[in-house]
Amino acid sequence: MTTSSSSAVEKSSSKEFIIKRVMLFASLLIVFAIFFFTHQRNNEYTRNTLELDGSLTNGNGLFKMNCVGCHGITARGLVGPDLHDVTERLSDSQIITQVTKGLTPPMPSFEIEPQNMADLLTYLHTLN
């Protein structure tokens, strides 16, 4: 009687182990899929942005509307860092990621159309 009870517990334990592993694998698969599709969308956004010609005038206006509060009117920095030479320190792709994701607090993330992002990049290139 003890042997069959022990065998039933082992089978139950084995099933729980398998179920937990399958659920872990499924969870990891879902996380990977989300990351992959988000990354693909970001790559497409970046690629589309980099294919556009930016406008210095529009980029300057966008900077003044959205960025001067943290980076200052001359882009020399306040709460945010000095942006002079930023295009020498970071690639355009890295700048796009920083602006759209706000990777370094307190930098917020911005939803910005590709053309506006191209305009802002053009402006940032003049700060060298």
Domain of residue 68, CATH code: 1.10.760.10
- How far CA 76 is from CA of 31, 44, 84, 109, 117, in Å, comes to 39, 31, 7, 20, 20
Domain boundary among 12, 28, 51: 51
Does 64 lie in the same domain as 125? Answer: yes
| Beta carbons within 8 Å of 103's beta carbon, 6+ residues apart | 97
In whole angstroms, what is the distance from residue 33 CA to residue 10 CA? 35
pLDDT of residue 128: 87
Does 28 lie in the same domain as 5? Answer: yes
* pTM of the complete model: 0.68
104-126 pLDDT, tens per residue? 889 999 999 999 999 999 999 99
